[in-house]
Structure 1
């Protein structure tokens, strides 16, 4: 369902290890908003909900809320190094348009929604 590259997995694990809160995991989600209609949420959490989907990737616990699942099927998360540092990249096959910054998207079902036009 969600694919996390080996390098992204290692970077996330390094970041989790630097935190002082026990039992943290990566939470990935989608919420309405952003200049393209939906925006991604990715951060650490230690609270799991009844309707969450839990996925394990080489020792990394990833949790996705049930409402976000339909927008994240096939999502690819990678980490790219650059001269300016590095950062996570997201490739979502469900997105029909994305914002220039890559943090928001819309789906084909949102294409007729004027509020969901890309920036």
Structure 2
């Protein structure tokens, strides 16, 4: 099993955003302290992967995660979902013991 997975849907969305911003198709996932459940996910386009990053690639799009964040999201899948509530990147994290209603905060 991979340490982290970028779904095809998420890869397409990253490629779309990167193309419009004339940036590389590299999505960085980081975990910050805070949020209503203890940790929050943070997404941003990255210029490049750092030497110690974990890298997952789907359809030429890269997902990069730093070593500290990887400990909290190992085994996760990053997806892009669109529903009545809007459109967003979503992390399915098997390490999360609990989450919150907004879906962007979790605890381990």
Normalized against structure 2, the TM-score is what? 0.83
Instruction: Determine the C-alpha separation between the residues in 2 that align with 1:101 and 1:83.
Output: 14
Are residue 103 (structure 1) and residue 79 (structure 2) matched?
no
1:33-92 Cα shifts (integer Å, max 9, x gaps): 111111111110115433322222220122111101111111122222324653322211
Question: Per the alignment, in what secondary structure is the counterpart of residue 51 of structure 1?
Answer: coil
Aligned length: 106
Q: Which runs of 5+ in 2 are unaligned?
A: none
Instruction: Determine the C-alpha separation between the residues in 1 that align with 2:85 and 2:70.
Output: 32
Aligned residue in 1 for 2:6? 4
Instruction: Kindly report the root-mean-square deviation, in angstroms, between the aligned alpha carbons of the 2 structures.
Output: 1.8
Instruction: Determine the C-alpha separation between the residues in 1 that align with 2:25 and 2:48.
Output: 8
Are residue 54 (structure 1) and residue 74 (structure 2) matched?
no
Alignment of 1:51-90 (within 5 A): 51-83=52-84, 85-90=86-91
The 1:98/1:49 distance shift into structure 2, 3 A limit, reads same
**Kept after mapping to 1: 8 A contact 2:6/2:56:** no
- Report the structure number with the largest CA radius of gyration: 1
Structure 1 segments of 4+ aligned residues over 6 angstroms from their partners: none
